Amino acid sequence: MPRVLSSNLGYPRLGEQREWKKTLESYWSGKSDKATFLDTMKSLRLDHLRKQQQAGVDLIPVGDFSYYDHVLDTAVTFGLVPSRFGYTGGEVSLEQYFGIARGTKDAAAGEMTKWFNTNYHYIVPELNNLTPQLTENRVLKLYLEAKQELGLEGKPVLLGPYTFLKLSKGYDSSEFAGWLNKLVLLYAQVLSELNQAGANWIQIDEPSLALDVSADEWTLVQEAYTRLNEASGNSNLLLQTYFEGVDGFGKLIDLPVQGIGLDFVYGLEQNLNALDDWGFPEDKVIGVGLIDGRNVWRSNLEEKLGLINVIAQTVSRDRILLQPSCSLQFVPVTSRHETALEPVLQSALAFADEKLAELALLTRAANIGGAAVQTELDQSRKAVSQLAGSDWRSPQHPDQVANENDTRNVPFEERRSLHDEKWKLPVLPTTTIGSFPQTVEVRRARRLWRTGEWTPEQYEQFIQQEIREWIQIQEELGLDVLVHGEFERTDMVEFFGEQLDGFAFTKNGWVQSYGSRCVKPPIIYGNVNFVEPMTVKETKYAQSLTSKPVKGMLTGPVTILNWSFVRDDIPRSQVSYQIARAISDEILALEAAGIEMIQVDEPALREGLPLKRSKWQEYLDWAVGSFRLSTAAVKETTQIHTHMCYSEFHDIIDAIKAMDADVISIETSRSHGELISSFEVHGYDKGIGLGVYDIHSPRVPGKEEMVQLIERALRVLDPKLFWINPDCGLKTRAHPETVAALKLMVEAAQDIRRQLGQETKVGV
C-alpha cells in the first residue's frame, strides 16, 4: 500500500523553559559573549531537530530557527539593510542584524508589524533604492549542519519571494515586477546551491497567495516559479500556503513545482471545494495541513482520518504529506508540564510536541489502518468528548447584543465640550499608554507573593511604593494625564483573565510575540463572567496621590479574545460579547470609585481582521460592537480612551471611528510617521495620539525626531484634538531610558505649544 508521509512546517523557537529568550537577553545585556551566544543557539537549534526526529516526522524543517525573526533573516540574506545602519556589503554581522531589529544609538529600528492575522511581529524589510545581493546562503548552512551533526536529511525552509516582497516597503507598485525579478535571480542561486548539496525537498512559504492576488500577479508568480523550478534541479519544491483557502486554486496547482501545501483547518471548506472542482495534478504531492497550528486543543483524530480518506479519493496516498496547518511557532512547546490544570482540561490540550504526536498517529493510521492504533484513537476521542461535555463549556448568554445598549448617551462633539470643561487640559496633552518598567524587583516581588513568601499585605505595600514613585516621576516630568504603572500585572491579558470566570492559565505555555518578548496566552475554556473589581484598588490609590487625572487602564474584549487560546465550540463573536459585558462591569466599578478617564486598549483589533476582504465586515461588526458594548454605559463626562497598534489603519478607519472612543492612541513611530498620510485622505474627527517614539527599542530618540513627527501630524490633524504619547506601554524598557525619553517627549510637546502660541489653552 502506498505510504503517506508526515511533514512539519516549523517548530517553536523558545524552548520548553524559554532558553532561547534567555540566551538572547544574556547576550544583549553583555552577560555572555558572542561565541557563547552562537554555541548556545546552535545547541537549541539541534535539540529542536532531535525532538522532531524522535517524534517520527518524515520531513523536518531546517531554516525555520531564527535569532530574532525569519523575515529579517530573509532581508539580510539578500543584503537588504537600510542605509542608516552603515552597511557596505558582504555578510551582515550579528551586530548589524540586531541593530535593524532593535535600533542603535544612531539609527531607528526597522518597522515592526503583525505577521498576517497572528500576534507574531516581523521586521518590515525596507527596499528603498537598495541593490539586493546574496550575502550568505543561510539555509544551506543550516541544512548542512543538520546533516553533519544529526545525520538528518532536513527540508530547507524559505520565505517565498512573492510573500517577502508583499511584506516589504520602500518601492512603488509599478516596481513590483522589477523587484520580483531581482529577488528571483537570488532565490534561484540559493536553490541551485541547495540542489548541489543534495536537498530532496525544499519548502517555500507563500502565505500571501492565500490573500487577494490579481491576475497580473499570478502571471508574475508563474514566471517566477518557472525560473525557480529550473534552478532547483533535482530538488523538489513544496510551495506552502496557510492561514486561508486559496482563491486562485487553478492557477496555484498549475505552478511548476512538485508539491502544494494547503491549510485544511482555516481554509478547510474553500480548499476542499476547490479540490472537488479542480482535482489535483497527478505529478504533484499535496501537503494536507490538518492539525491546527494556531490553537491548543486536541484534534478530533477520527474526523481527521475521515478528511484524509476524502482527499485520498482525489490524490493517491503516495502523494500525500500530512502536516500542521502552519508552522507550530504560534503554540507553546509542550503541555506535559501543565499538571496543575484540571485533568479534563489538561488532557484536552495539544501544544507543539503533542501536535507532532497527533501527526505521527494519523500517519500510522493512514498507512496501516485505524484498527492498529484504536487504543490511541479511543483515548483521543475520550479527551475531546469530556471537554465538550463539561459543564463549564455549555453555551451561555445567547446572542442578545441587538437588545443591549451599545451607544453612548450623547455624541462626541457634545462630550468633547463636557470633557474640555471638566479636565481643563492644555493643547497637546501628554500621557503614556499605561505600563512602566517591570524591573527585576517588580518581578521578584510578584514571585515572592505568588509562592507565599510574602503576605498579600507585603505585596500590596510594595505595589503602592512603586505607584508612589512613578506618580512622582510623572509629575516631575510634567505629564498631563498620569497612569498608575500596572506593576501588579504580569501581562495585559493574563491579568484580567486570572480574575474572570472561564479562563485557565498554564505554567509554561509561552509563545513568541516579537524578538525575545514572550506572552503566555490564557485559555478560554468556559463562559466568561465578571467576578469582582479588578483594577479599582490600584487606580484609586494612584489618583489619591495627585490632583492630575489618572487613567484607569483596561484591556478591551477583542484583544483579550485575540490574545487568548479560545474555545472552539461556539462562535468567537459570542465569546467576545461575554468578555465585553465583564469589561463593562469593571468600567462602571472604576467610574463609581471616581475614575472618569478610562483607557480600554484594543491593540489586537486590526490583528483579528480576516485575511480575505470578503470576510471583513462580519468581523468588524461584532468586534466594534464588543468595544461599544463594553464602554457605552458610562456617563457622558467620562472620557474613554483606547490604544491600537499600527497596521494598515486606513483599511479600517471607518470601523475605528465607529468605536466612538473619545481619544485613540496609535502606534506609529516604527512606520516613521507613514500612517499620518492616511489622515490626509480620510481625516479623523476625535481625539488622537500618534506615538512619537518607539518603545520596542532601547534607543532614546532625539527631541527633534519627535517634534518632526508632531509637526507632520498637525498638518492634517486638529491641534485641539491631538495628544502626545509614546507608541505603546513601557513595561519592557529600563528606568533610565524611560525617564529620558519621556522628558524629551514632554519638551517636544512644549516646543510645539510655543510654536502654536497656545501654552495654556484648553484641549480635549
Q: Is 537 annotated as a binding residue?
A: no
Task: Please answer whether residues 60 and 31 qualify as being in contact, where contact means their C-beta atoms are separated by less than 8 angstroms.
Answer: no
Residues 6+ apart with CB under 8 A from 334: 16, 351, 352, 353, 354, 508
Task: Answer yes or no: is 703 a known binding residue.
Answer: no
User: Is 205 among the annotated ligand-binding positions?
Assistant: no
Q: Known binder of ligand: residue 518? A: yes
643 is known to lie in a ligand binding site: yes
Amino acid 395 reads: P
| Residue 271, marked binder | no
Q: Cα angle at 566 between 561 and 568, to 5 degrees?
A: 130
For residue 174, what is the DSSP state? G
CA separation for the pair 244, 158 (Å, rounded) = 19
Q: Is 665 annotated as a binding residue?
A: no
645 appears as a binding residue in the annotation? yes
Q: CA 605 → CA 137, 345, 521, 668, distances in Å?
A: 38, 28, 16, 16
The answer to whether residues 34 and 94 touch, using CB atoms and an 8 Å cutoff, is yes
What's CA 257's distance to the chain center, in Å? 31
Torsion angle in degrees (nearest 10) through CA of 646, 650, 656, 662? 80
314-348 burial string, b = 16+ CB within 10 Å, else e? ebebebbbbbbbbbbbbbbbbbeebeebeeebbbb
Please check if 434 is assigned to a binding site. Answer: yes
Known binder of ligand: residue 20? yes
563 is in an annotated binding site: yes
Chain centroid to CA 405: how far? 31
In this structure, what DSSP letter does residue 482 have? B
- Write out the catalytic residue numbers: 696
Q: Which of 351, 358, 329, 331 is nearest to 11 (CA)?
A: 329
Handedness of CA 696, 700, 705, 711 (dihedral sign): positive
CB atoms within 10 A of CB 588: 17
Q: Is 21 a known ligand-binding residue? A: yes
Say if residue 18 carries a ligand binding annotation: yes
Is 114 within any annotated ligand binding site? yes
Helices 374-389, 301-312: crossing angle, 10 deg rounding: 120
- Per the structure block, which three cell numbers stand in for 552? 484607569
- Residue 759 in marked binding region: no
Report which residue type is found at 575: V
Residues 6+ apart with CB under 8 A from 408: 415, 631, 632, 634, 636, 660
Dump the DSSP string for 410-455.
S-HHHHHHHHHHHH-PBSS-B---SB----HHHHHHHHHHHTTSS-
Which residues are documented as binding site for 5-methyltetrahydropteroyltri-L-glutamate? 18-21, 114, 119, 517-518, 563, 607
Which residues are documented as binding site for Zn(2+)? 643, 645, 667, 728
Which residues are documented as binding site? 18-21, 114, 119, 433-435, 486, 517-518, 563, 601, 607, 643, 645, 667, 728
Which residues are documented as binding site for L-methionine? 433-435, 486, 601
Which residues are documented as binding site for L-homocysteine? 433-435, 486, 601
